[in-house]
Structure 1
Amino acid sequence: MSARVLIVDDLFPNVRLLETKLGLEYFDTLAAMNGRDAIAICEKGLCDLVLLDVMMPGMDGFEVCRHLKNNPLTAHIPVVMVTALDQPADRLRGLDAGADDFLTKPVDDTALFSRVRSLVRLKAVTDELRQRALASREFGIGDPLALATAETGLDARILLIEDRPGSAERLAGALRQHHVVTVEPDPQAALHLAAEAPFDLALVSLDLAGFDGLRLCSQLRSLDRTRTMPLIMLAEEHDRARVVRGLDFGVHDFLMRPVDRNELMARVRTQVKRKRFTEALRGAMQASLQMAVIDALTGLHNRRYLDNHSRHAVRRRGRPRAQLSVLIFDIDHF
């Protein structure tokens, strides 16, 4: 899947390097040398994803990211921060600003391409919902983008699939400060549980005893009930190749062990916010469709619905033994 990638960096050699790498993978690229130009490009809807350098004069990457994510016009655009900073505190600061992910310089090509493709796929789904939901403004529902952007990402129902008791206890203990957590060590039981209960997110260990955690992620992505549920992989350093495969088939994010508590909280919050953002857009779209065929005062179907369905009813009347009745009544002083 191709996309338009905005590269934001104040150093021209860095811009050229990323342009060359992405061009070889058939991505279109744009460039901005400062934060304000980047914001202007995003507000015009000219890019699908932002690769944002952190260390820039004037408005740094954290400030740019925060501005983009707090603006309903640009909140849906994925932002990947590209930085030489590699400490957990630096990643946490970026995630708190709303960044979707981090890439550390020198940028690994495999990580770059897999992350870009993954986020572009997610944005393509969001874009379609976003355009349809905007039509709801015409029906007086309000601004769906502003409502969706205001989501906090807290009080989520989380499924933790982890068979290491110590790790499960630490992860669940951290998450329960802001969420409701269900721990399930058995992968098959977890699969059935996820299909039956309305979880907002699942954390999946890739190193489950006797079971391939990546296959479990694939199964969760294939089921209708869990297809849109965000997935975060818990992986060891030697699992990077499997992490890339997971991102390629639709897993949303990953955490490397040992898991930093603050990064865990930030990444979970980011994924929950994105899920609820999409649900808010889908809800606005559904509401606009209902208002198009249902009278708000009586709750009855309107003329548009009648015109369409009466034709089908008349055609069905031509079948043997089919019956058709019509009731017309007037309501006085309506």
Structure 2
Amino acid sequence: MDEKYSVLVVDDEPHGFDVIEAHLYREGYELHYAASGMEALSSIDSFEPDVILLDVMMPQMDGIEVCRLIKSDTYWKHIPIIMVTALSSKEDLARSLDAGADDFLTKPVSGIELRARVRSMLRIKQQYDALEATLRLREDLSNMIVHDLRNPLTSILMSGSLLMDSGLKGKDLERVELILSSGRQLNSMINDLLILAKMQSGKMILNLAEVELSDLATKALSQFSGVAASKKLRLRSQLKKLDHPVSVDANLLYRVLDNLLSNAIKFSPPDSTITLEVDDPSDLVTDETASHQATIRVADEGIGVSEELQQRIFDKYEVGSPINSVPQFGLGLAFCKMVVEAHKGRIFVEENKPNGSIFTVVL
């Protein structure tokens, strides 16, 4: 065997480990032992097991609860878990499956069956690791390409700005304005992708500072006055001066406002109103939101978001209802969600009756 695999055995009875060790000693695995569920959870980082053999009947914390906790951890949930049990009740087996167990062994343990099931779980783990490596490579290549796009795009934007100052008129001026507008949109998408990549890799550091939220919102809203007028949309603001500054990463939060307002304009019909509101979170105070400092809402009168889609509209690459001539990439709202959650806040969408949507950010 070229690679030495790690197997963690969790059993409150040392004899249980001795039996498994005797059955597996010729397989060349690196065996680790934990005498309780708590010990397994505290040592899993150091053992880094490829497979876990988990006894069900243990004092203080049984194997089903240990399994549930491991499977709820993003970093460890992919590790195959074989439940080792003397239970024969279908209800107990169902509880184990619900907790995330991948396979079962019944006591007394058969050596042939144990070795076969461990090998089976290792094959699954190998396939998962290979897929993860492929996805990481693809993500790294995508990030490199996105990063390299910035240099030619910067040249396009600089050249477009110079042409704007060269005295162009009529159709020529309109064409250059279109080039600049499209270039800025592309630049915004590239920035979103790069920030998403940093956040997903855990390398994003928030530059927190106390800001006046209404001033930041006013600045974000003002940049859309021209495009809103061209689409015959009304921009309205209800920006309360909060009696306390809010500690945020101003650049990232500005991009959240930019994304939400851009979406609202994109999906709003002519002669409708888009409202940007900043307020206290008083009407949303619950045990969960009591520590929050402010609420931001962006309301439109567009096509709205279906109730079913509201649950996944913030997922990466998830898009709303297709609309002709409206590009949708499913990155803007995923970006917003990651930024808001990095600030320990939350974001959600509701209906704006009779028509449209309200995107709410609670900070």
Highest CA radius of gyration, 1 or 2?
A: 2
Same fold (TM over 0.5): no
Highest relative contact order (Cα 8 Å, sep 6+), 1 or 2?
1
- Taking structure 2 as the reference length, the TM-score comes to 0.40
